Structure 1
Amino acid sequence: MNIIISNASGDPIYMQILNQIRQSILSGELRAGDSLPSIRQLAKDLQVSVITTKRAYEELEKEKLIDSVIGKGSFVSGANKDFIREQRMKRLEEKMIDIIRESRELNMSQQDLINHLTVLSEEEETP
Structure 2
Amino acid sequence: MPVYEQIRGQIEAAIRTGALQGGDKLPSVRQLAGDLRIAPGTVAKAYAELAEQGLIDTGLGRAARVRRVDRLPDPLLAAAESFVREARRLDVSFDEAVNALRAKW
Q: Runs of at least 4 residues of structure 1 off by over 6 A? A: none
The 1:97/1:75 distance shift into structure 2, 3 A limit, reads same
Tell me which residue corresponds to 1:37.
27
Tell me which residue corresponds to 2:103.
101
Range that drifts further, 66-75 or 32-41 = 66-75
What does 1:1-127 correspond to in 2, within 5 Å? 11-79=1-69, 81=70, 84-85=71-72, 98-99=100-101, 101=103
Secondary structure of 2:46's aligned partner: helix
Secondary structure of 2:33's aligned partner: helix
Deviation at 1:72? 1.9
Larger gyration radius, structure 1 or structure 2? 1
Query: Unpaired segments of 5 or more residues in structure 1?
Result: 1-10, 103-127
Higher relative contact order (CA 8 A, sep 6+): 2
Distance 1:100 1:59 in 2: 23
- TM-score, normalised to structure 1, is 0.57
CA RMSD of aligned residues (A): 2.6
Tell me which residue corresponds to 2:89.
none
Supply the AA of the counterpart residue of 1:36.
L
Identity of aligned residues (%): 36
